[in-house]
Amino acid sequence: MSRKAKLKSDVPAEKTYPTRRYLRLPLDAPTMVRYLNGDPAARTFILSRPVQGALLNVGAGGALVLCEHAPQPGELLSLELTLADHYTFGGLLGKVKRVEPDDEGGFLVGIEFGTLSQLCLERAEWQLPPGVVRFDNAFREALQHVLFAMEVGRREQIEETENEE
């Protein structure tokens, strides 16, 4: 699923969301989403089948994903990110913060990254499925480092293009 239409993600984060803690990097990359379904008796989560989506922007605090089906706000999920064709972050724990229909029949899904206790305090002691990563500060810093390098590269490419004209 690819998307080239103008979105809020095309506007710099500081103009769209002045209270956002982390800058978002606009992208158009495939991603895989898996929803976490709870089993209260076993106090564990079970992963759904993977669902294809398009990663529209990402930052150290969350992401915006275009999906064909609308999840419910508050649902927990696992997100796989591949950035710059060689940085893969698999099984990131996230929570659906907002869902909005888009102009083409899909849904824009705002996702917040975090640890289980940050995202779902009442299930903080539950067992996460294998491969799902708690999004802690060390992980956040690693993602910020990659995103910063990508943004610097993007800006350098823009400057080179402008200098050639």
| CATH of residue 13 | 2.40.10.220
Alpha-carbon distance of 29 to 4, in angstroms, equals: 11
pLDDT, tens digit, for every residue of 35-71?
Answer: 999 888 899 999 999 999 999 998 888 999 999 999 9
Alpha-carbon distance of 129 to 44, in angstroms, equals: 7
Give me the pLDDT at residue 18, please: 53
In the block, residue with structure tokens 């940050």:
118
- Tell me which residue range forms the domain holding 150: 8-164
Measure Cα distances from 161 to 10, 85, 154, 164 in Å.
19, 22, 11, 5
Per-residue pLDDT at 9 exceeds 80 = no
Mean of per-residue pLDDT scores for the chain: 83
Alpha-carbon distance of 156 to 133, in angstroms, equals: 32
Q: Does residue 93 or residue 10 have the better pLDDT?
A: 93
Domain-embedded: residue 1: no
Give me the pLDDT at residue 109, please: 96
Domain-embedded: residue 3: no
Q: Does residue 154 or residue 29 have the better pLDDT?
A: 29
Q: How many domains does the chain have?
A: 1
Give me the pLDDT at residue 76, please: 94
Give me the pLDDT at residue 88, please: 81
Q: Does residue 133 or residue 52 have the better pLDDT?
A: 52
State what percent of residues in the chain have pLDDT above 70: 88
Domain-embedded: residue 135: yes
